[in-house]
Amino acid sequence: MKNASLRLTNPLPMVVAGVFMLSLAVLLFIPQQVAAKVETPKIDICHAESSDVNPYNSLSVDKNATAGGHDDHDGGIYPANPWGDIIPSYQYSYQAWEVIGSHQGCPTDSALYTSWDSSKPCKKKISGHWKYTDYINIDDYGWVTHEDQYPGKNWTTEGQEIYNNGCVIPPVYSVESYESDYSTVKNDFYQGEIVYGKGWTEFVGNKDLRLEFKNPNGDSVEICGERKGTWSQCPHNLSNDALTGTWTIELQQKGDKYWSWSD
């Protein structure tokens, strides 16, 4: 019976030429560690707001290990206190600067140059004397792409229902027809009688609500009971020639039909 629809000036002295060249080599090497700039894929989430009227806001965030920095927005699903973000589970990729191989080369560490044997391939002037050593294994680095899975947050049946509804909590609602006390439920009426309709909803906040009475042909007969809140009620006078059959009373948010009707 009730259904819900629902962001170089002076040249350097010759003695420091070696230091200058070494520094230059290092400075030229560092930019190679900057990963190529690529556009990060996005994922839509329901971001928790501190508002009972609008508990969630739809945001597009980076697909990464922290969901664009929202992974620590902990809490349950509204109306839990506190409530947190609703984030789907997704796969993402990231790059890490890692060892990808090695090569033979001369060490930079002066402590390794201890030999006077000039036949060794590597030499370095230490305290005014040439010292020698052998090649060593030197690691080669590069950017490596990895795949991982973000587990999701509040990605339950209830969380998915809110997510799939545009981050709007599907309202729990009810509409009934009553006698004049708006307390005694009455479903059978006759021509000339007055139908007292009432509808209410949960988790909507201070919204503009109204009721609409429709005859068995689906034609709108009367819209009434406009008010701000979580419920609306008003009477409708059935004319003496009112159509017989099943009438409906529809609870609406003003200007928008957020809910289906109830007989």
Write down the domain spans for the chain: 93-149, 172-262
Is pLDDT at 4 greater than 90 in this prediction?
A: no
Q: What are phi and psi of 138, to 5 degrees?
A: -115, 125
| Residue tagged 């990895």 (tokens) | 146
| Residue tagged 């007292």 (tokens) | 196
Q: Which CATH superfamily is domain 172-262 in?
A: Macroglobulin (MG2) domain (2.60.40.1930)
Is pLDDT at 3 greater than 80 in this prediction?
A: no
DSSP type of residue 36:
P
**Per-residue pLDDT reduced to its tens digit, 95-151:** 999 999 999 999 999 999 999 999 999 999 999 999 999 999 999 999 999 999 999
Alpha helix segments (H runs only) across 85-192? 157-164
Alpha helix segments (H runs only) across the chain? 17-29, 157-164
CA distances from 257 to 5, 8, 209, 211, 252 (A): 9, 72, 10, 11, 5
Which pair of structure tokens corresponds to residue 33? 């560690």
**CA separation for the pair 90, 53 (Å, rounded):** 29
**Per-residue pLDDT reduced to its tens digit, 35-81:** 445 567 999 999 999 988 789 999 999 999 998 899 999 999 998 99
For residues 184-210, give the mean pLDDT: 87
**CA separation for the pair 13, 24 (Å, rounded):** 16
Q: What is the pLDDT of the chain when averaged over all its residues?
A: 83
- Please indicate whether residue 187 or residue 18 has the higher confidence score (pLDDT): 187
**Per-residue pLDDT reduced to its tens digit, 207-230:** 788 999 999 999 999 999 999 888
**CA separation for the pair 91, 191 (Å, rounded):** 62
pTM tops 0.95, yes or no: no
